[in-house]
A = this chain, B = another copy of it.
Amino acid sequence: MGNEAQTHDLDRMKMRGRIMRRSASFNVAHAVDDLGPGTGAQSIQRALSLLGLVGIISSENPNGAPLSEIVAISGRPKASVHRMLNALIAMGYVERCEDGGYRLGVQSQIMGQLAQKSADPAIEESESSLLRLAELTQDTAFLTMRTGSYSICARREDGFGPIFNNALAVGDRHPLGIGAGSLAIMTQFSDAEVDASFDANSRIFADRYPEVSVPRLKEIIRRGRHDGFVHNPGLFAQGSWAIGVPLRVKGRKPRAALSIASIEERMTGARVFELAELLQHEARQIAEAVNSASGEDQT
């Protein structure tokens, strides 16, 4: 249960060309089936996965996501996808543009507004920092946030150089431990929490990231605790190296991290420390901004 997606590998192969350009959707499609059956909420999870997929695809393609593409990437039968999309449309979370493509709807926008009031302000505050980082380093800067035992790419700003890194797009979900930002967050955990997190996701690691060595990750976390930043030497995606620092805010539990990703040549030697320095500086800025902001808006 969970490898049913394999039966659709052929379909996916056919459109590999398209997917290469957008590993984002690919990742999302593969971060879908957590929380196995028996929990009584599979349809919800599938539907929300679709919603995320629509969001990502349509944010790249100006006139919406065609059904066929959603079907191919999600790996679910066309009829099911169609039915779910209709449900999402009925609820206003998805709309169809004139040309028939699917895109996010008004309700999604509204949810976003509501979410910004109640959820973590780090996403807001991080914007200028990410822009600065992307500008200064000419690489790609990310804000990663934790949710439960997962981490999500919450924001991303590209530098102006040739774009090297498209291994992670806004909205991508990976289990905690996958990605420099994710690892940076985990440096804030206790050893017990780290172990618990990896244990919780052990099956997903085995299924989805068989090439990743958990002990290796734990080692990186340990070193990160000491150094104040983590360094991922291309462990997760071919040629995608990255540095991440945690974002500490007051006494809050759920955490965030900033990271920068680039190719190997730009992620070695002295530059590692320069980048770490930059990241830490911005992380402090954001933390302060969040602190003062949350002090005011008690309305």
- Which residues in A have some Cβ–Cβ distance to B below 8 Å? 34-35, 39-41, 43-45, 47-49, 51-52, 55-56, 58-59, 62, 64, 83-84, 86-93, 95, 98, 103-120, 123, 145, 147-148, 150, 152, 154-155, 170-171, 173, 253-254, 298-299
Closest to A155 in B: B113
Closest to A50 in B: B44
Question: B41, A86: Cβ atoms under 8 Å?
Answer: yes
> Min CB distance, A188 to chain B, in Å?
16
Residue from the list B44, B51, B145 in contact with A111, Cβ < 8 A: B51
Q: Which residues of B contact A109 (CB under 8 A)?
A: 112, 115-116, 119-120, 123, 154
Closest to A253 in B: B98
A90 CA to B58 CA in the complex, in Å? 23
Question: A62, B104: Cβ atoms under 8 Å?
Answer: no
Question: Given A92-B152, A147-B92 in contact, is the A41-B111 Cβ separation under 8 Å?
Answer: no
Question: B39, A83: Cβ atoms under 8 Å?
Answer: yes
Query: Quick one: copies of this chain in the complex?
Result: 2
19 pairs from A and B in contact (CB 8 Å cutoff):
A35-B87, A41-B84, A44-B44, A47-B48, A49-B91, A51-B111, A64-B118, A95-B254, A98-B253, A104-B115, A106-B120, A107-B171, A108-B111, A109-B120, A111-B111, A112-B113, A113-B155, A113-B170, A114-B170
Question: A147, B95: Cβ atoms under 8 Å?
Answer: yes
Q: Which residues of B contact A299 (CB under 8 A)?
A: 62
A111 CA to B171 CA in the complex, in Å? 8
Question: A107, B64: Cβ atoms under 8 Å?
Answer: no
Known A44-B91, A112-B112; 12 more pairs at CB < 8 Å: A39-B83, A40-B87, A41-B90, A48-B107, A49-B91, A59-B117, A64-B118, A92-B152, A104-B114, A104-B118, A106-B123, A111-B111
Closest to A80 in B: B40
Q: Which residues of B contact A44 (CB under 8 A)?
A: 43-44, 47, 84, 87-88, 91
Q: Which residues of B contact A91 (CB under 8 A)?
A: 44-45, 48-49
> Min CB distance, A174 to chain B, in Å?
12
Question: Given A52-B111, A112-B115, A116-B112 in contact, is the A106-B145 Cβ separation under 8 Å?
Answer: yes
Question: A112, B105: Cβ atoms under 8 Å?
Answer: no
A91 CA to B49 CA in the complex, in Å? 8
A62 CA to B294 CA in the complex, in Å? 11
Closest to A110 in B: B171
> Min CB distance, A176 to chain B, in Å?
12
Ordered nearest first, which 7 A-B pairs have the shortest CB separation?
A112-B112, A41-B87, A108-B115, A104-B115, A55-B114, A92-B147, A44-B87
Pick from A51, A106, A170 the residue with the most CB of B within 10 Å.
A106
Question: A171, B114: Cβ atoms under 8 Å?
Answer: yes
Closest to A256 in B: B106
